Amino acid sequence: MRYPLKNWNRIKRGYRFGEKTFYSARHLGADYIVPEGTAVYAPDDCEIVVAGNFPEGGNTVHAALVDSRYGKVILRFMHLKSFSKVGRYKKGAILGLTGNTGKLTKGPHLHIDISRGKVAIKNFKNFIDPEKFFSKMRAQPAPKSNIKKLYYLYILECADKTLYTGITTDLGRRIAEHNDSKLGSKYTSARRPVRLVYSRKFKDQSSASREEARIKKLKKSEKMELIKKSKKI
């Protein structure tokens, strides 16, 4: 398992689990104060079972996974700027980008709550404190720096439904740049917001670049078929 946000222990917290909020007697999860466009990662192999826009939580995904301590759990990531489609995702895949959507928000942040088995809003005892859920991560040593750098080929779907292909060593950072920074490409900067629809790892830059060149030559229908097949894996 991994943290859903980078620099987890350094992130400023908003409302914590069980605290009284401006809209409820007990907060069902925890709020993490991060800039819009921050990548939200799958903490483990999971399945997005719900993805959509809701009045209170704005753009939201429900990710189901099996935990060794709690069994099947549902993690809700709320107030997103953009999000991935319903489907299965590997540990570390980007499930969405943080935002400030929905009625129950006063600034950019990510709300996370975790339910046992299914989401039961009126049953507070069915919820798990996200800080407790991820607490075992703190005891894990930091990874050694001798791991070889990986390259990622990615395809983004733009606001106008066109596709953009590129490579990077940091998917989260690069997608955030495409959405919110001058460091993104000229093509995507005129077609925001963008969202990740396909990614693939490579051990070296040359292999990633060759595949990027190949995909860029494909017709859009062929790219869509590639994306569709990747969701079934």
Q: Report the CATH number that the domain containing residue 103 is assigned in CATH.
A: 2.70.70.10
Q: Are residues 126 and 165 in the same domain?
A: no
Residue 171 has pLDDT above 70, yes or no: yes
> Is the link from the previous residue into 193 a cis peptide, with omega within 30 of 0?
yes
Report the alpha-carbon distance of residue 164 to residue 162 in Å, rounded: 7
pLDDT of residue 142: 45
DSSP state for residue 226 in the 8-state scheme: H
Q: Is 145 domain-assigned?
A: no
pLDDT of residue 113: 98
Q: DSSP letter string over 201-225?
A: EESSHHHHHHHHHHHHTS-HHHHHH
Q: Is 3 domain-assigned?
A: no
pLDDT of residue 181: 81
pLDDT of residue 147: 55
Residue 143 has pLDDT above 80, yes or no: no
Stated pTM of the model: 0.61
Distance from CA of residue 223 to its chain's centroid? 22
Tokens of 7: 């620099």
pLDDT of residue 58: 96
Check: CB of residue 87 under 8 Å from CB of residue 47: yes
Q: Is 173 domain-assigned?
A: yes
Check: CB of residue 75 under 8 Å from CB of residue 50: no
Residue 138 has pLDDT above 80, yes or no: no
Residue 141 has pLDDT above 70, yes or no: no
Residue 20 has pLDDT above 90, yes or no: yes
Helix (H) or strand (E) holding 77: strand 71-83
Q: How far, CA to CA in Å, does 194 sit from each of 84, 162, 220?
A: 11, 10, 16
Q: Are residues 16 and 124 in the same domain?
A: yes
Q: Are residues 132 and 32 in the same domain?
A: yes
Q: Tens digit of pLDDT for each residue in 186-219? A: 999 999 999 999 999 999 999 999 999 999 999 9
Structural domain of residue 209, as residue ranges? 151-232
Report the alpha-carbon distance of residue 115 to residue 50 in Å, rounded: 14
pLDDT of residue 139: 44
Q: Are residues 133 and 163 in the same domain?
A: no
Mean pLDDT over 139-150 rounds to: 57
Q: What is the largest CA-CA distance in the chain?
A: 56
Check: CB of residue 73 under 8 Å from CB of residue 116: yes
Q: Where are the alpha helices (H) located in the chain, listed in sequence order?
A: 130-133, 171-180, 186-189, 205-216, 220-232
Mean pLDDT over 87-113 rounds to: 94
How many structural domains is the chain composed of? 2
Q: Is 160 domain-assigned?
A: yes
Residue 140 has pLDDT above 60, yes or no: no
Report the alpha-carbon distance of residue 185 to residue 190 in Å, rounded: 9
Give residue for tokens 């606001």: 159
Q: Tens digit of pLDDT for each residue in 22-47? A: 999 999 999 999 999 999 999 999 99
**CATH classification of the domain holding 192:** 3.40.1440.10
Q: Are residues 57 and 13 in the same domain?
A: yes
pLDDT of residue 173: 87
Domain endpoint, select from 80, 109, 137: 137
